Chain A
Amino acid sequence: MAAIEMKNIVKKYGDGYPAVNDVSIDVADGEFVILVGPSGCGKSTLLRMIVGLEDITSGDMLIDGERVNDLAPRDRNLSMVFQNYALYPHLTVYENIAFPLRLAKLDSKEIDEKVREASRTLDLDEHLDRKPANLSGGQRQRVAMGRAIVRDAKAFLFDEPLSNLDAKLRGQMRTEISRLQKRLGITTVYVTHDQTEAMTLGDRVAVMKKGVLQQLASPRELYEQPANLFVAGFIGSPPMNFLPATVEGDQITLPFGTFPLPADKAERTAGKGLLMAGIRPEHFEDAAVQADVDEARTFDAHIDVREWLGDQQYAYVPYDAEPEVQDQLRELAREADSDSLRTQLVVSLDSASQVREDDEAKLSIDTDKIHIFDPSTGENLTVGL
């Protein structure tokens, strides 16, 4: 077991394009760190540089304090679970798990002990004699993990291990990976493009975009204190609403009206011209179901579509925005790999709410929880407040 330090890691391809640009992340011993971001953000490249399948253009990769930049994968003693599992189809489950041990030339008694222990841990006992082709997706996933845990590797690396499973199985395996990691207490780096996986599994999450580390923080901090527009839009489902805003004094003007803003937020943002406000869907509410409503923080909205989910409901409120704001919203959506949506507000309402589609409703807005971003740099001006 070991700590992994990445210092100013850069990866450039032949055409000079930096796939990973000056990324520094310290993974503590036993920590579970997630690399997350849209496709092409460099997260997989970074993982493959840790394990040694990809050369490092510049920067230092330290495992256990030792610089490993020039070590071959087999000399780094890490284990990895690949996206497509990479099980050897000509070997049985038993031999697949035993493969690294056989390469290390352990004696067969020792191999047998370790394989049996791994298979017990992963509930694979009855499948040991089968070939990978005869296994279900979840079983293959477990064999791949068995191959990873069977030897005493310094760390586990996962490259989108759940992306080939169906939604239900993905949930189960997620819990299983989490439990296993906690029990073994082994340093783990896990790559995913799925923000739910990132939020539920990681001790800390590194959000990347276009090769650049955007924010490295705990899931809660990412959600509540996103460093910039990209992180704010990427983390959370349904995503944060972005609205054009101007702040004058302690009043914020949004497309639906003007609302009072807490003094500390107003102080940092007042008089800065056109800004971008970010409000999560749950920070809206149907005023009709709230006990005491601050009338200053309500507005009338036309409900376009309503989705009732049982424990809550989502309502969609279209609004008009100037073309340049629309462009920027589209750009944000594109960067986060989501479909370019129309300019509309997504609000999460209490399940008791009686709003109806194609009807007017009075909504309240919690401006205490509002984030305000500088639209040119994307920086969160209200971070820490």
Chain B
Amino acid sequence: MRNDTLSRIGTAVGLILILVWCLLPVAWIISLSFKSQEAVTNGSPGFFPSSGGGAGWQNYVDVVKDDQFRQAIFNSIGICLIATLLSVVIATLTAYAVARLEFKGKKFVLTTALVIAMFPVVSLVGPLFDMWRTLGIYDTWIGLIIPYMSFTLPLAIWTLSAFFREIPWEMEQAAQVDGATAWQAFRRVIVPLAAPGVFTAAILTFFFAWNDFVFGISLTSTERARPIPAALSFFVGDDPFNRPASLLAAGAVVATVPIVLLVLFFQRKIVAGLTAGAVKG
């Protein structure tokens, strides 16, 4: 019995540690975003805004009013949504083939996906930079959508094929015996069953694209296509020697909001997707 209480206390302490680990830096950046810009320039150490050093919502107002920032958010949302949509459609086809069909070259597909997942992205930046300039898609949405799609495909393919594999074979066959054509079986049985998987893959793909930094800074040169992480890193304000920390923090919070919302709503699906196939294929 004593052992039991001990382990319960241990678990509770661990729980608190995990929460502190995950949330403290988030709380910090939120707190920072409420420090006034003067306070930051003059130095304002400490976790919370010092008395008189608070800025209220001013930093957020400034960020949202900033054209560069608004454009970057718009770019990010647009590019990531398009890349996600296309990537998931292509990955669904591939994952269905990988999970359900026997064909020569299946190994090749899986190996390619694995290699790409491990690929050092930066080593592509040079040649892509060169190629994109030649093709005239440097510093455009499409110039980012293409690499985002390619690099999110492996994750989407794994997640989806794990889902497809869980749909029993018999389900399709039963539909056929019940009088369905191949298309009806796919449409009325497989699609509704795979929908949660497709959705999960979409969320993970969106995460990945939203998170990208390397392509974002290398394949763009103006605010025309620059996504939010790259924009944040270039966001130096009036004084290039003293970064406007609190303003940046406010921008960072705004850029993080979509991700946090996704996490809040779809926590269960994301965990399932991340770990699907990670333990046992």
Contact = CB atoms under 8 A, between A and B. Distances in A.
A and B: direct contact (Cβ < 8 Å)? yes
Interface of A: 51-53, 72-74, 77-80, 82-86, 88-90, 99-100, 103-104, 147, 151
A274 to B, nearest CB: 48
Interface string B175-212: 11111110010001100110000000000000000000
A74 B180 contact: yes
B170 A84 contact: yes
B176 A74 contact: yes
Contacts of A84: 168, 170
11 contacts: A73-B173, A73-B176, A73-B177, A74-B176, A78-B177, A79-B178, A80-B177, A86-B171, A88-B175, A103-B188, A151-B179
B85 interface: no
Contacts of A89: 193
B174 interface: yes
Nearest to B184: A103
A51 B177 contact: yes
Smallest CB-CB A-B distances: 5 pairs:
A86-B174, A86-B170, A100-B178, A73-B176, A74-B179
Given A84-B168, A89-B193, A103-B184, A72 B173 contact: no
A86 B168 contact: yes
Mostly, the B contact residues are: helix
B211 to A, nearest CB: 33
Contacts of A103: 178-180, 184, 188
A84 B166 CA distance: 13
Nearest to A85: B170
A147 B175 CA distance: 11
Nearest to A54: B173
A103 B171 CA distance: 15
Given A52-B177, A89-B193, A103-B188, 9 more contacts: A52-B176, A74-B176, A74-B181, A88-B174, A90-B193, A100-B178, A100-B179, A103-B179, A147-B178
Tell me which of A74, A79, A99 has the highest count of chain B C-beta atoms within 10 A of its own C-beta. A74
Contacts of A151: 179
A122 to B, nearest CB: 17
Nearest to B193: A90
Given A89-B193, A90-B192, A82 B176 contact: no
Contact of B176 (A53, A85, A88, A147): A53
Contacts of B188: 103
Tell me which of A72, A82, A86 has the highest count of chain B C-beta atoms within 10 A of its own C-beta. A86
A99 B178 contact: yes
Nearest to B191: A90
A72 B177 CA distance: 9
A36 B193 CA distance: 34
Tell me which of B171, B173, B193 has the highest count of chain A C-beta atoms within 10 A of its own C-beta. B173
Contacts of B179: 74, 77, 100, 103-104, 151
B177 A88 contact: no
Nearest to B174: A86
Contacts of B168: 84, 86
B119 to A, nearest CB: 36
B176 to A, nearest CB: 4
Contacts of B178: 74, 79, 99-100, 103, 147
Interface in B155-181: 168, 170-171, 173-181
Contacts of A77: 179
B180 A88 contact: no
Contacts of B192: 90
A85 B171 CA distance: 9
Contact of B177 (A79, A83, A90): A79
A74 B171 contact: no
A80 B174 CA distance: 7
Interface in B131-176: 168, 170-171, 173-176
Nearest to B173: A53
A83 B180 contact: no
Given A84-B168, A89-B193, A90-B192, A72 B174 contact: no
A147 B193 CA distance: 19
Interface string B8-49: 000000000000000000000000000000000000000000
Contacts of B180: 74, 103
A104 B170 CA distance: 20
A8 B176 CA distance: 26
